[in-house]
Structure 1
């Protein structure tokens, strides 16, 4: 975790920002809950436990700054709530998600599934793809097993 915090500190420094104590505690909460897809309010509540004097606006500003610096991505899974997802180190693209429409579970796919699609888009539409997001909505394995596959 400390290495990732150091790299985030460097990204902030390169953009002429400092890793303030408020930003650091926010980053630590995001790292500790990396697979949870927390909303800003979720992040705030967890940060407040560790840093009681922090304000919601500070957490929002920190999340937006980290989003601008491509340290994290703001995602929406169709429920109207913006959630924050740390970018994987060294990843060329945002990772993909499988969202269960029954239970709301979110599973991440780390593999880049779209290199051939990107080539087609570049060739046929003369468009340079710099990033992409892919979200699949459906029924997860657990819900299929519970329902005997009737919802699939």
Structure 2
């Protein structure tokens, strides 16, 4: 991880009104460095490789980020917790694609206009405190490895 990534992470935290610490910046920078949600184990391993941070601190930072709605905690079908950033123009709320074969997960791009429309529609029913959208299937890499054509491609 380079100093530019840590600077971006610090700016992200500052803009969100969160007290900036080295540990928080390290966790955020690690989340920013990937375009797919990381399991708590993957995140912990990467943070431990980078410097002086312990397991408890990583989990506390994740808890804070989720509580402040700066990160999303996604519970995958394999029951693993995964995390990705969710606001301040980084990713916004977005759906995910989960591969049932290799258990990989990918962030899908979101359409801000559709989000605005959906948000207004949902507000008619009440206040949303959590949202999780996920598509499940087989990723292109696993399709390539398989001899069977993808569903509907026959």
The secondary structure found in structure 1 opposite 2:98 is strand
Partner of 1:44: 44
Change in CA separation of 1:37 and 1:92 when aligned onto 2, cut-off 3 Å: closer
The secondary structure found in structure 2 opposite 1:66 is helix
Is 1:27 equivalent to 2:32 in the alignment? no
- Is residue 139–residue 151 contact of structure 1 (8 Å, CA) maintained in 2? no
TM-align CA RMSD: 2.9
Change in CA separation of 1:141 and 1:114 when aligned onto 2, cut-off 3 Å: farther
Partner of 2:109: 110
Partner of 1:149: 149
Structure 1: 5+ residue stretches without partners:
none
Paired residues for 1:3-152 under 5 Å: 3-11=8-16, 14=17, 17-32=18-33, 34-52=34-52, 54-90=53-89, 94-112=93-111, 126-129=125-128, 132-145=131-144, 146-149=146-149
Determine the C-alpha separation between the residues in 2 that align with 1:127 and 1:84. 26
Determine the C-alpha separation between the residues in 2 that align with 1:119 and 1:6. 30
Residue 93 of structure 1 deviates from its aligned partner by 5.0
**What TM-score, normalized by structure 1, do the two folds share?**
0.74
Change in CA separation of 1:103 and 1:9 when aligned onto 2, cut-off 3 Å: same
Determine the C-alpha separation between the residues in 2 that align with 1:122 and 1:87. 20
- Is residue 74–residue 84 contact of structure 1 (8 Å, CA) maintained in 2? yes
- Is residue 93–residue 131 contact of structure 1 (8 Å, CA) maintained in 2? no
